[in-house]
Structure 1
């Protein structure tokens, strides 16, 4: 494929980026750091928060973005993966970067890299950083793609670093135990700067790494805590001056509560003034695509949730217990996930389960997934999410609730199908 230029389309750039590196993932910072130096990327005009973790990265960023937009500040957010459009990965003030903007920075990166090979994610990370350097928002929020210590995002020395949770996922890259995975994720911590951990039972490697890096660790359940009371919740934490601070009667959020608590602790160190009322409003208005996202059509509630690992499945299980009426599941997963544990958690929650094939290199077929279920479960194999939704819409006994889960790819196909065919 010919190398794109400044006049090429975004689709051309993305297709070329996918083809120009032999590996989808290549952890390490030497190559991307050299290119970043060539580009003279400077984020010193913004406060930077880096968020790592197995689950909860997206919702933590969503909370922080919502709070500071509510308070009138400019906010840049880099997240991944995207659902429908690549532009979703780079946002300024809640608006996606334009095709033109992304093509322009991709061209700059390509010129600056010379003969240095970059992965698709590394190109994307540099693109986001260039957009933020150009726009200089008050706050920049960076989501780690994989791990932390060797992830492309970690070329930036964040002012505040967060590890949301530590669980088994991406074990081929990060290790097959929580101690090793915690070490990798805690690699985003920086000396003398706040390091926040939202895991209530973190591996020892989190605190050990913080000590070795001389980062100031703030641990959920210790330095900060939260308590749900009736239809609201209370938060206690530590201010930037080391004083106790408390926020009471916060409306319950639609996203996971523990990540809201972590976001509030991060707010104590972000040097942008926010009132208690703005904190509360920002927390209550935070939303995130693919996290118990509700789409109602012809009397059926479709809930879309990526839930692709055991910890996320446990959280989904708790949310399902609050839904009244019968529930069906559409499940599609990747082969490198702990499918057995996810199935074990979710299987008994549903009266009927559709198992679908994900048309991607790491995708499992519906037949593959069926092997994880017991014979007692009412499982039905379909070629795609689209096929499953189509059958559900024509069924005689459709339940009130249909859950679509298991992967970003599963949710993306469901979003496309439900938005394209709203009947």
Structure 2
């Protein structure tokens, strides 16, 4: 499998749906017989999709979920009835996909999405869930017409691709919607909700605003918002009533995912932009985390201002006893830029520079019960998880 994946190169955004039509046309007629749900948004779309998959599966539906990125294994992107795809079936699908595209080139993301479509088709599922990778209008998932669409939230991220400003970002994400079909949103900003209303009227989209209809209120934390959105979408796509008391039971990679090794509990939170950091902070403040908690942060490449704004979220907060900022080996890592930004504004704060995060973890006192939250980049979360799994013998001495 490793050799096959390496042939795909790195994950980059490559817009253009017309270019993809010849490769995905073999699924169009079959997928028209399925219920399709497409979920977009800046933050929360992954959790919303996982909750949807869990609820629909427990209701007896055959469901396939496409999600990205993965943290430890590429198998995480392909959830089928019964769980993640097997290695054998995935390898067979790789061979099929390379033969299917011939000498043509697809991006890493597009190639894996092609494989997902093949797997969903073979599994003969009832419902297909698509998590948008980036944006929406030009994302590969938008090659299919969804029966129901949802937008979780809008905040500043990937502006170099989606455009500067929240309205431009919403415009790109609104592109997943279809005329005369429902679009369910959990947008907090009244300005964005007004703009979403304008776009919906212009394109004849059946817009459902969960704040306007009373399903959500401003005081609801982001996890409550994601859960409520998922349940509303599940009701629409099935015509059945999903109780608001139902809680998701599926493990969600990188979304308050917990690993315990000896006396140390690692909690992985995929908060990677300003809005995500604020929501993580507010949720933890509301839940009064245990006093022996620390935060380990690192970021993927992004603007200096984005990183500085994210660091400032934690500058004065009382959530953590200690905050450690570090870098990691990956082609998408912020690398030395991160240390420069930290040194500029946080040298004398309680936010410490961690030259080697692996050494920091190995030096933790094993007899002291500690919670270590890891956030800032999904790629960093993956690196930390791999390290913990390969050093489990150390943490449980």
TM-score relative to the length of structure 2: 0.88
What is the deviation of 1:228?
Answer: 10
Tell me which residue corresponds to 1:6.
none
> What is the correspondence of 1:153-172 to structure 2 with a 5 Å cutoff?
153-172=141-160
> What is the correspondence of 1:127-206 to structure 2 with a 5 Å cutoff?
127-201=115-189, 203=192, 204-206=194-196
Contact 1:331 1:406 survives alignment (8 Å): yes
What is the deviation of 1:384?
Answer: 4.7
Contact 2:27 2:121 survives alignment (8 Å): no
Contact 2:56 2:234 survives alignment (8 Å): no
What is the deviation of 1:372?
Answer: 5.7
Counterpart CA distance in 2 for 1:228 and 1:31 is 41
Contact 1:334 1:358 survives alignment (8 Å): no
Counterpart CA distance in 1 for 2:356 and 2:20 is 37
Contact 2:263 2:369 survives alignment (8 Å): no
Counterpart CA distance in 1 for 2:344 and 2:197 is 37
Counterpart CA distance in 1 for 2:296 and 2:197 is 39
SS at match of 1:295: strand
Tell me which residue corresponds to 2:232.
265
What is the deviation of 1:373?
Answer: 4.2
Contact 1:200 1:221 survives alignment (8 Å): yes
Tell me which residue corresponds to 2:223.
256
What is the deviation of 1:187?
Answer: 0.2
Tell me which residue corresponds to 1:90.
78
Tell me which residue corresponds to 2:346.
374
Contact 1:68 1:274 survives alignment (8 Å): no
Contact 2:235 2:242 survives alignment (8 Å): no
Tell me which residue corresponds to 2:270.
306
Of residues 3, 17, 20, the one that matches 1:12 is: 3
Counterpart CA distance in 1 for 2:55 and 2:224 is 15
Tell me which residue corresponds to 1:280.
245
Contact 1:224 1:265 survives alignment (8 Å): no
Distance 1:164 1:299, change over 3 A: same
Tell me which residue corresponds to 1:356.
326
What is the deviation of 1:62?
Answer: 1.4
Counterpart CA distance in 1 for 2:377 and 2:280 is 13
TM-score relative to the length of structure 1: 0.83
Contact 2:184 2:233 survives alignment (8 Å): yes
> What is the correspondence of 1:237-252 to structure 2 with a 5 Å cutoff?
none
Contact 1:75 1:92 survives alignment (8 Å): yes
Structure 1 segments of 4+ aligned residues over 6 angstroms from their partners: none
Deviations 1:239-262 (A, max 9, x none): xxxxxxxxxxxxxx9x81101111
Counterpart CA distance in 1 for 2:361 and 2:226 is 31
Tell me which residue corresponds to 2:380.
410
Contact 2:27 2:117 survives alignment (8 Å): no
Of residues 279, 289, 299, the one that matches 2:253 is: 289
Tell me which residue corresponds to 1:345.
313
**Long gaps (5+) in structure 2:** none
